[in-house]
A = this chain, B = another copy of it.
Amino acid sequence: MRLAELSERSGVSTATIKYYLREGLLQPGRRVTATQAAYDEAHLRRLRLVRALIQIGKMPVAVAREVIGAAEDTSLDHHLRLGAATRALPQEPAAADDEATVTARRSVDALLEQLGWQGMRDEPAPALGPLVASVAALVRLGYPCDAAHLLPYGRIAAELAVVDLDVVEEQPTPAGQIEAAVALTVLYEPVLLSLRRLAHVQESARRFGGG
């Protein structure tokens, strides 16, 4: 298909598509004439993924490019590629070394121990920093967040990972699995948070509601 049709089918303007091509977020089309290129279903799919990462995942263009680049690096084996792609996903930096952060780090260490999650200390996962920072904010507000309070959340996260990876494994090809890992990690975050808020409404009505 031509650029105009790619634009129409994806709902992305031709100017934005050209920008993504220049930035390397979208692979080049097959050159047809000196001024025209042809695009196929793979371009349409990639374009939809890029839009979803940027719009739903709120990812800056540079980060989306890094995530997609990591997912495409065929020099890595499957588990490493999967890891590289999801590691490139945006993460907040860890907080400073104040007292609350020290307490938070101790709680998180005890939590990982209790969950039996191995190897996080030797090669720290990028999600550890934001986890410690968020727990430190709760500590500062005086909310309980020792390992015992965090443990039910850790157990629920482990259940989630099983469901998530089942969906990833439904994809027939390794490349499809890596795309799915990136897309589902990012796109299921708002699904999960919205469902949690809906569940709060239900649970709150059950406990406190008069009706």
Contact = CB atoms under 8 A, between A and B. Distances in A.
16 contacts: A56-B137, A79-B205, A120-B201, A125-B198, A127-B193, A127-B194, A128-B198, A134-B194, A138-B188, A141-B187, A153-B195, A156-B195, A160-B199, A161-B199, A161-B203, A181-B204
A179 B45 CA distance: 44
A142 to B, nearest CB: 8
Nearest to A112: B198
Interface string A152-192: 11101111111111010110000000001101110111111
| Shortest beta-carbon contacts, A-B, top 8 | A161-B199, A157-B195, A131-B194, A127-B197, A161-B203, A79-B208, A134-B190, A157-B199
Nearest to A134: B190
Query: For chain A, what secondary structure do more than half of its interface residues adopt (helix, strand, loop), or is it mixed?
Result: helix
Given A112-B198, A137-B187, 15 more contacts: A48-B141, A56-B133, A79-B210, A83-B204, A125-B198, A143-B180, A153-B191, A156-B163, A156-B195, A157-B198, A161-B199, A161-B202, A164-B200, A181-B200, A192-B196
Contacts of A131: 190-191, 194-195, 198
A38 interface: no
B156 A191 contact: no
Contacts of A205: 79, 119
Contact of A191 (B117, B141, B150): B150
* Most central of A82, A152, A208 by chain B CB within 10 Å: A208
Contacts of A130: 190, 194
B195 A167 contact: no
Copies of this chain in its oligomeric complex: 2
A54 to B, nearest CB: 11
Contacts of A127: 193-195, 197-198, 201
A81 B83 CA distance: 43
Contact of A208 (B82, B128, B202): B82
Interface in A96-111: none
